Structures are given as C-alpha cells and as structure tokens.
Amino acid sequence: MGDYHFVYKDVEGASTQWDDIQRKLGNLPPKPPAFKPPPFTPAGDESSLPKDKSWIDRKTEDELEDLEDDADLDDDRFLQDYRKKRLAELREAAKVAKFGSIIPISGSDFVREVSQAPSDVWVVVLLYKDGIAECGVLMQCLEELATRYPATKFCKIISTDCIPNYPDRNLPTLLVYNNGAVKANYVGLQRFGRRCTPEGVALVLCQSDPVLNDGQSGSDPSTKAVIDGVRKRFLEKVVTEHEDGDDGSSSD
C-alpha cells in the first residue's frame, strides 16, 4: 500500500502552550490577532430619512412626479414648492440636446445631420482632409469647444465628400447652420487669428449669432451673453496658466 501522510490543521488562530512559551522567549513572532468580521450595519430605510432639500435633490424626475400625492409634502409648503422647482429644472435639462463631441458624417448624412437639425440647434461643420496641418489645429480647438458647449452640434466631413472637387487650399473650412440655412462660413485658418485657440474660434463663431450653447446659460441666448461667457473663460484660463507658471518658477 502507498504511504499516506495526514496533516492535522487546527482552527485558524489557535495556539499551543509550547508556542506561547516560545513567543514569550522571543523565538516565535507575535501571534496574529484573531479575525473579527466587520460590525453589521443595516442599510438605511429610505422612509426614515429626513425629508429636506437634499432628500429631494437625490430624486429622479419620475420619483419627483410620484411625490405629488405625498401626504408629508402636502403639510410642508416649502418642500412642495421646491419639489416643483426641481422637477421643472430636470425637465428643462432633458430638453437640451447633448452632443459633446465632433460627430463624423459622410455626404449621405449631411441633409439629415445638418440641414434637418432642429431649429433651435446650431450646427458647426468642419470641412477637412487628413494630413493637412491646419485642419488638425482647428480640429483640436473644435474638440474642446464641443465638450464645453454640448448643446451646439459639431460635425466633421471630408471636404470632397461634402463638395466635389473642393480645393485643398481652402481648408480648413467651417460652415455654420441654423434652421436649415447657412448662417456663416469661414475659409482658411487665418480667419481665427495668428494663434488659433479655442477662445479665438469661439469669439469668431459668435460675432453675429449665439452659435455656442452650453445648455446651462438660462433664458438669455443672446450673442452678448455667449461672448461674455467666452471672455470670462478666457480670462480664467489666462489666470490659471499664469498661476501655474509662477508655481513652477524658482526664486533666486
């Protein structure tokens, strides 16, 4: 028969009298503490939470609608009014189209994505070609603006897919659409200044119309409001870069 060996394993954390003596003499490391499971904490009951502004802020649109017949809120005029205000804010936010990036389109997509866009949506279309450095510069600026103004629709299309035989010397070209019509066009990178920056592009786009929309500007969609916002962000960026430069400089 084979030679079988059995290894007896005691309960984890158990120790013999001999081990205890050896530990006192320093011949063995200290005994590890016994395992203790973390204390059980029952999940909070939603119905036991205090009903205040923060409680309402955590609710979704559907949950806020369900609270319309809540007896507790009927007795609290402030919370009932705040519920209505919060519900209106969520509904208004849901109406705002969210894009947030440059959408690549082809010639067959143009009418649907650009000409037939909703009348309250401004569409900025970049005509470009890969390998042209100026197109890459403007593309980077538009990528930042698309993130900053997610309620404005940004698209890009290879120039000859949009307009057959469109000359490369005119690239990059920006077309601005609203309500199915061309509102502006900008040919070449020089239209955006010697140094093409997102702020410079934003100011050019909003010279005559409030093209850029962040979806959070409230009820004032005017050109002045948009340009004021662009200038404010530009100043904040300059101050931040200046402060970062000061932090990185060494004093003599």
Residue 63 lies in a domain: yes
Asked whether the beta carbons of 126 and 174 are under 8 A apart, the reply is yes
Cβ 205 vs Cβ 124: under 8 Å = yes
Q: Give the number of C-alpha atoms closer than 13 A to the C-alpha of residue 1, restricted to the C-beta side.
A: 3
CA 114 centroid distance within chain: 23
78 and 193 both lie in a single domain: no
Same domain? 172 vs 220: yes
Tell me whether residue 219 is in a domain: yes
Cα 247 from Cα 85, distance rounded (Å): 43
Crossing angle of helices 198-205 and 133-148, in 10° steps, is 80
Q: Are residues 135 and 84 in the same domain?
A: no
Instruction: Select from 95, 127, 162 the last residue of a domain.
Output: 95
Here the tokens at position 216 are: 């959070």
pLDDT number for residue 215:
74
Domain boundary among 78, 95, 112: 95
Domain match, 224 and 170 both: yes
Q: What is the pLDDT of residue 107?
A: 93
If one counts the domains in the chain, the total is: 2
- In a domain, residue 167? The reply is yes
Amino acid letter, residue 24: K
Residue 181 lies in a domain: yes
Cα 64 to chain centroid distance, Å, stands at: 24
Q: Are residues 153 and 84 in the same domain?
A: no
234 and 166 in a single domain? The answer is yes
Judge if 107 and 220 occupy the same domain: yes
For residues 78 and 129, membership in a common domain is answered with: no
Residues 76 and 173 in one domain: no
> Residue 59: inside a domain, yes or no?
yes
Does residue 2 lie in a domain region? no
Q: Are residues 111 and 228 in the same domain?
A: yes
100: left (phi over 0), alpha (psi -120 to 50) or beta: left
Last residue of a domain, one of 64, 95, 126: 95
Statement to judge: residues 73 and 107 lie in one domain: no
Instruction: Report the chain (252 residues): mean pLDDT per 10 consecutive residues.
Output: 55 69 80 74 59 74 73 68 79 71 95 92 96 96 93 95 96 95 94 87 88 70 67 67 58 44
Identify whether 206 is part of a domain: yes
Predicted model pTM: 0.59
In a domain, 21, yes or no: no
Assign residue 195 the CATH number of its domain. Answer: 3.40.30.10
- Do 185 and 167 share a structural domain? yes
What's residue 195's pLDDT? 85
Residue 38 is predicted with a pLDDT of 77
Q: Which domain holds residue 208?
A: 102-239
